[in-house]
Amino acid sequence: MPQQKKVLAIVLAGGEGNRLMPLTADRAKPAVPFAGSYRLIDFALSNLVNSRYLQIVVLTQYKSHSLDRHISETWRMSTQLGNYIASVPAQQRVGKSWFLGSANAIYQSLNLIHDANPDIVVVVGADHVYRMDFAQMVAQHVASGAKATVAAVRQPLHMADQFGVIEVDQENPEKIAAFVEKPSSTPGLAADPTQFLASMGNYVFNADALVEALHVDAERLDTKHDMGGDIIPYFVDQGEAGVYDFTLNDIPGSTERDRTYWRDVGTIDSFYDAHMDLISPVPVFNLYNSEWPIYTRQSISPPAKFVRGEGATVGTALDSIVASGVVISGGIVEGSVLSNDVYVGTASRVLDSVLMDKVQVGAGAVIKRAIVDKNVRIPAGAAIGLDPELDRARGFKVTDSGITVLAKGQEVPEPGEAERSLSAANLYLVPDAVKTATENWPAGRESVEKVGEVHAAAVGVEPPGKPSTKAY
């Protein structure tokens, strides 16, 4: 029986994440909350731990306090068995500069490799949502004889300019013939001309070969010190780079629908879309796979609660994820993700949105297609995501696709009459899930519409067509 290879895992978590602003204004990208209870880095760490790789270092740099605290509070291993997950900041061991790129981050941390003395180094990013068994990739790497192996995911051709593109050897599909960073175009795969192989930002190296490559890179003047842009092409040029097709990865408990799911959540739009992938009745990505769990720090908050609010308003959530500590008191939530300790008040509406920890939604407020970061208080009667120009005027970010983003703790001004009228018009809307359920049941639909009137009346809004007696 061949001797088991000793593996050290390195997680690159120093990214600034400019495209995720304002969610990264106060934290590193891997520390951004996700899916109600998690941080983005939990996916990378869970994949490594589930792969039985239990010696892990996390290289941090940009606004790392939130990330460091999460790792120290959540990711504890048995040191008695030699296992650890260690958060390591830039230490300026080889000069007075901070990390100059992902390759330079590892180069400045070579002491970690020397101390661990591994045979294999697994290098992964910390800002992607997916499940992957890295042990299967390492097994292919060892069997192939390659010194470096890149994990690849299939993507549509039109997205070639967004990724590192892998072109395989025609005689050996496990060998990389060329590696190009974000080309304007690329040929399609022989098996599927509409797709190409994109780098996932996950790599496996022979430890000695990686150390040598990093030393060579450090001495070059024509380099950005990037793993994908410089280190992998170095191995490709030597004919020593292999590729691992992610579609071959087999995860216990996965389904055909989600087994090859991988999403780069580096932009607001992709971050939002990834949340929407979670909430469908048959989700594109299934958080509930207990055979390959995603670990995180569990909140000490009480269970979520759905109760009636003032004026006999109904508190409910439809097609949504609701975390611990959430109280929906007479409000209606649909197609949304609510993180720990969110409060949704009387007659309010939260539609197709992501609310992070401790967001407070006042009575009669409406939030639609929005991402609201932690500790934001939405005043009663406010309208978020209903009017892009109004949102921009209040200092909120609005993407080209119409997603409104509020930063952590951002102040929301009290609404004026026009804004209150805008939100009021949405209080009568019948939720999409209920429309579907009552499609062939007119009596049920009428009952639901009456509920909308009750909700509106509870915050002083008159039914449509009836003159208002409310003074704003």
Query: Is 284 within a domain?
Result: no
- The two beta strands, 33-34 and 377-378, are unpaired
pTM above 0.75, yes or no: yes
Under DSSP, the state recorded for 175 is B
- Claim to verify: residue 334 and residue 189 sit in the same structural domain: no
Same domain, 254 and 401: no
Residues 412 and 269 placed together within one structural domain of the fold: no
Span 15-46, pLDDT tens digits: 778 889 999 999 999 999 999 999 999 999 99
- Residue 236: exposure state from Cβ atoms within 10 A (0-12, 13-18, ≥19): buried
Q: What is the pLDDT of residue 301?
A: 94
Same domain, 246 and 342: no
pLDDT tens, residue by residue, 349-372: 999 999 999 999 999 999 999 999
The span from the CA of 213 to the CA of 232, in Å, is 9
- Asked which of 244, 276, 308 is the last residue of a domain, the reply is 276
Q: How many domains does the chain have?
A: 2
If asked whether residues 261 and 309 sit together in one domain, one would say no
The continuous run of DSSP H or E covering 301 comes out as none
Co-location of 270 and 360 in the same domain = no
Q: Which of 242, 276, 310 is the last residue of a domain?
A: 276
Say if residue 89 is preceded by a cis peptide, omega within 30 of 0. no
287 domain-assigned: no
d(CA 429, CA 464): 11
Are residues 171 and 120 part of one domain? yes
User: Is 290 contained in some domain?
Assistant: no
Q: What is the pLDDT of residue 98?
A: 65
What's the pLDDT at 1? 38
The pLDDT value given to residue 147 = 96
Are 258 and 349 within one domain?
no
Output the domain CATH number for residue 468: 2.160.10.10
Do 26 and 137 sit in the same domain of this protein? yes
445: in domain: yes
Same domain, 321 and 269: no
CA angle, 173 as apex, 170 and 174 as ends, to 5°?
A: 140
* Nearest-angstrom CA–CA distance, 75 and 59: 15
- Whether 313 is in a domain gets the answer yes
b (16+ CB within 10 A) / e for 148-161:
bbbbbbbbebeebe
Specify if 77 maps to a domain. yes
pLDDT along the chain (472 residues), means of 10: 81 86 93 95 97 95 89 87 88 69 86 94 94 97 95 90 85 87 82 88 95 90 83 92 94 91 93 94 89 92 95 93 97 96 96 97 97 97 96 96 97 94 88 81 78 82 55 33
**Within a domain: residue 351?**
yes
Which residues are CB-contacts of 51 (< 8 A; sequence separation ≥ 6)?
A: 132, 133, 134, 135
Do residues 255 and 369 share a domain?
Answer: no
Q: Are residues 267 and 353 in the same domain?
A: no
Report the pLDDT value the prediction gives residue 222, as an integer from 0 to 100.
81
Give the tens place of pLDDT for each residue, 220-279.
Answer: 878 888 887 889 999 999 999 999 999 999 999 998 888 899 999 989 999 999 999 999
Q: Is 1 inside any structural domain? A: no
What is the extent of the structural domain holding 59?
7-276
pLDDT in the model for residue 465: 53
How many angstroms separate the CA atoms of 413 and 271, rounded?
A: 26
Give me the CATH number covering residue 107. 3.90.550.10
Last residue of a domain, one of 276, 310, 339: 276
